[in-house]
C-alpha cells in the first residue's frame, strides 16, 4: 500500500520543475498546419521514461528507490542511479534540453513505457494512469505547439504485459489524455485496441506525398502477454493494418510505423519478442507493403540499435530503429542486478521532405555518473549516425551496407555499434566472437529461422563451440 501511495501522489520535484499538470483548455486535437518546405525536416523520439516517483538521495542505500527491489543503491545522485528507474529530475532535464535544442520539431514520437519496473502488487490501474497523465502533461507543456504521436508500451497497463485486444479502461482513459494530439477517428480506433493511424496534418501542395503515422499496439504480440496467447490476430490489428496500408498504397501515401515492442530477435535471450507465428505474419505484411512503409521506430529494449528488413531474396527493403531509454535502470531480481545498463538517451531524426526517407539520426545522451558528480545534466551529442559510419543516409540500402560491416570479425564498425548500443555506459567493454555474432545476426535478420541460420554459419566459419549461442 505504501508503494501505491507513493505512486499516486504528485512528487514535489515535479512541481518544482516547471512542468505543471493542468491540461490545456484550447481546442483539440492540436492540428496546426505546417508548411512543408523542400529539403529536410526533424522530429524527436523519446521512449521508456519509466518514472520512479519514490526516488530520493537517501543516506540509507536501501531507501533510495523502490525499483532497486531492495538492492542497496550506493551511487544515488540528483539524476538517478543505474539501479533505479527515472526520477522526475532526470525526465525534466531531458525535456528541457530537447526544448532548448529544437523547440519546434515537425512532430514528436513517444513509444511508450511510463510506469516503473515494480512487482504487480506494488502497482494498480490508477497508479499507471496517474503516471501516464503526468507524463502527457509534461510533454504538452514542454512542446505546446508540437503534434505528438504516442504508442503504448507493455508497462502502460496493469498488470503489466497483459494488454487485451478489446475495449478496456486504460485504452479509454489514455485516449482521453491524448485527445490534444489525435483525431476523433484515431481516438475511436485507439479506444478499441490501443492502436490508431493518422495523417501528419501538413499544408501539402496538390502534388506532394502525404505522410501517415501508424501507431501499433505490439504488446498484443509480446510473449509475456498471456491475455492474447493463442489468438491469431488479437484485436483484429493485423487485418486492420493490412487495410490501412492497402489504402495508403492506393492513395499514394507514405507511412511511418511506430510501436513499443519491436519485431525480430532479442539478442539477450536468443528468441523473438513476439510468438514466432505472429512475428512471421507481421514481417510478411511489412514486406508486402515495403513500397509504402518508409521506416519503423520502436523502443522497449532500452538499448540503441537498428534492424534491416529483408525480402525473401535477401534484399534490404525496410529500416527498423530501436531508440534507447530515458531510464537508466538495469534489470534485477532483488538479489542480483545485470552488470550492463544504458545511459539515458533521446534522439532527433533528420528526414527528407521529398520522400520522407531517414537521412540521419542525432543521438543525445547523459553520462549519468558525471551528471551526478557535477550535479548538472549535461545532455549532449553522443554521435551522428551517418557521419559516424560514413553513410550516405539511413535508408534501407545504406543500413544494409552497415549491417554487413558489423559482421567483420573484430571490426571497428561493430566496436562502435556496441559502444552506442549501451549508450556509452561502458565504452571499452569488448563484445567479440559469440557476443558479436548474436548482435550482428539480430541486426541482419528479423525472422528467427534466418537468424539461427546466420548464427550457424558463423559458428562453423569461426569454429566456435556449439554452446556458444545457448540461452
- Region of 332 (left: φ > 0; alpha: ψ -120 to 50; beta: rest) is beta
CA distance 358 to 304: 16
Pairing of strands 345-352, 40-46: antiparallel
**Phi, psi at residue 54, to the nearest 5°?**
-85, -10
Residue 50 is assigned to a ligand binding site = yes
406 - beta bridge partners? none
Is residue 433 marked as binding?
no
- Tell me the three cell numbers of residue 409: 570479425
**CA–CA gap between residue 15 and residue 304 (Å, rounded):** 31
- Dihedral of the alpha carbons of 426, 429, 431, 435, in degrees to the nearest 10: -60
Q: Pairing between strand 265-266 and 34-35?
A: unpaired
8-state DSSP, 24: P
Asked whether the beta carbons of 229 and 272 are under 8 A apart, the reply is no
- Judge whether 302 is annotated as a binding position: yes
Q: Is 260 among the annotated ligand-binding positions?
A: yes
459 burial level (CB within 10 Å; 0-12, 13-18, 19+): middle
CB atoms within 10 A of CB 188: 12
Q: Which helix (H) or strand (E) holds 126?
A: helix 125-142
| Contact indicator for 347, 362 with CB cutoff of 8 Å | yes
Name the helix (H) or strand (E) containing 6: helix 2-8
What are the b/e assignments for 46-85, b being 16+ CB within 10 Å?
A: bbbbbbbbbbbeeeeeeebbbbbbebebeebbbbbbbbbb
Beta strand 196-199 pairing with 211-215: antiparallel
Report whether 364 contacts 77 (CB < 8 A).
no
The answer to whether 113 is a known ligand-binding residue is yes
Count of Cβ atoms closer than 10 Å to residue 121 Cβ:
10
Largest Cα–Cα separation, the chain: 65
CA 345 to chain centre: 11
Give the annotated binding-site residues. 48, 50, 113, 154, 260, 300, 302
Give the annotated binding-site residues for Zn(2+). 48, 50, 113, 154, 260, 300, 302
Amino acid at each position: 500500500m505504501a508503494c501505491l501511495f507513493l505512486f499516486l501522489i504528485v512528487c514535489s520535484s515535479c512541481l518544482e520543475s516547471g512542468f505543471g499538470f493542468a491540461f490545456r483548455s484550447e481546442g483539440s486535437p492540436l492540428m496546426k498546419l505546417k508548411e512543408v518546405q523542400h529539403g529536410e525536416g526533424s522530429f524527436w523520439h523519446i521512449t521508456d521514461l519509466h518514472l520512479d516517483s519514490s526516488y530520493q538521495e537517501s543516506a540509507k542505500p536501501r531507501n533510495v528507490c523502490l525499483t532497486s527491489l531492495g538492492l542497496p543503491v550506493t551511487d544515488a545522485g540528483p539524476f538517478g542511479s543505474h539501479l533505479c528507474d527515472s526520477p522526475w529530475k532526470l525526465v525534466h532535464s531531458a525535456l528541457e534540453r530537447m526544448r532548448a535544442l529544437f523547440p519546434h520539431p515537425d512532430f514528436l514520437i513517444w513509444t511508450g513505457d511510463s510506469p516503473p519496473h515494480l512487482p504487480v502488487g506494488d502497482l494498480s490501474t490508477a497508479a499507471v494512469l496517474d503516471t501516464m497523465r503526468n507524463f502527457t502533461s509534461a510533454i504538452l507543456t514542454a512542446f505546446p505547439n508540437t503534434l505528438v504521436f504516442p504508442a503504448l508500451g507493455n508497462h502502460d497497463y496493469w498488470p503489466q504485459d497483459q494488454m487485451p485486444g478489446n475495449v478496456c479502461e486504460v485504452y479509454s482513459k489514455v485516449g482521453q489524455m491524448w485527445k490534444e494530439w489525435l483525431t476523433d477517428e484515431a481516438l475511436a480506433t485507439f479506444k478499441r485496441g490501443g492502436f490508431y493511424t493518422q495523417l501528419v496534418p501538413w499544408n501539402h501542395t496538390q502534388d506532394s506525398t502525404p505522410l501517415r503515422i501508424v501507431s501499433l499496439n505490439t504488446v498484443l504480440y509480446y510473449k509475456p502477454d498471456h491475455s492474447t496467447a493463442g489468438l491469431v490476430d488479437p484485436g483484429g490489428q493485423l487485418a486492420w493494418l493490412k487495410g490501412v496500408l492497402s489504402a495508403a498504397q492506393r492513395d499514394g501515401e507514405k507511412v511511418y510505423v511506430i510501436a513499443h515492442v519491436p519485431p525480430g530477435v532479442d539478442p539477450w535471450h536468443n528468441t523473438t519478442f513476439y510468438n514466432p507465428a505472429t512475428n512471421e505474419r507481421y514481417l510478411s505484411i511489412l514486406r508486402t507493403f515495403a513500397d509504402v512503409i518508409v521506416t519503423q521506430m520502436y523502443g522497449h529494449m532500452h538499448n540503441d540499435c537498428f534492424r534491416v528488413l529483408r525480402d525473401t531474396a535477401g534484399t534490404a527493403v525496410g529500416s527498423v530503429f530501436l531508440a534507447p531509454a530515458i531510464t537508466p535502470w538495469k534489470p534485477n531480481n532483488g538479489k542480483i542486478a545485470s552488470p550492463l545498463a544504458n545511459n539515458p538517451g533521446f534522439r532527433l531524426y533528420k528526414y527528407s521532405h521529398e520522400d520522407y526517407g531517414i537521412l540521419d539520426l542525432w543521438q543525445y545522451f547523459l553520462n549519468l555518473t558525471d551528471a551526478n558528480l557535477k550535479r548538472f545534466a549535461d545532455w549532449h551529442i553522443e554521435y551522428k549516425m551517418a557521419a559516424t559510419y560514413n553513410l550516405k543516409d539511413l535508408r534501407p540500402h545504406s543500413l544494409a551496407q552497415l549491417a554487413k560491416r558489423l559482421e567483420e570479425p573484430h571490426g571497428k564498425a561493430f566496436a562502435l555499434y556496441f559502444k552506442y548500443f549501451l549508450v556509452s555506459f561502458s565504452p571499452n567493454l569488448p563484445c567479440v566472437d559469440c557476443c558479436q555474432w548474436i548482435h550482428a545476426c539480430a541486426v541482419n535478420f528479423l525472422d528467427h529461422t534466418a537468424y539461427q541460420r546466420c548464427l550457424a554459419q558463423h559458428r562453423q566459419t569461426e569454429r566456435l563451440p556449439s554452446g556458444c549461442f545457448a540461452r
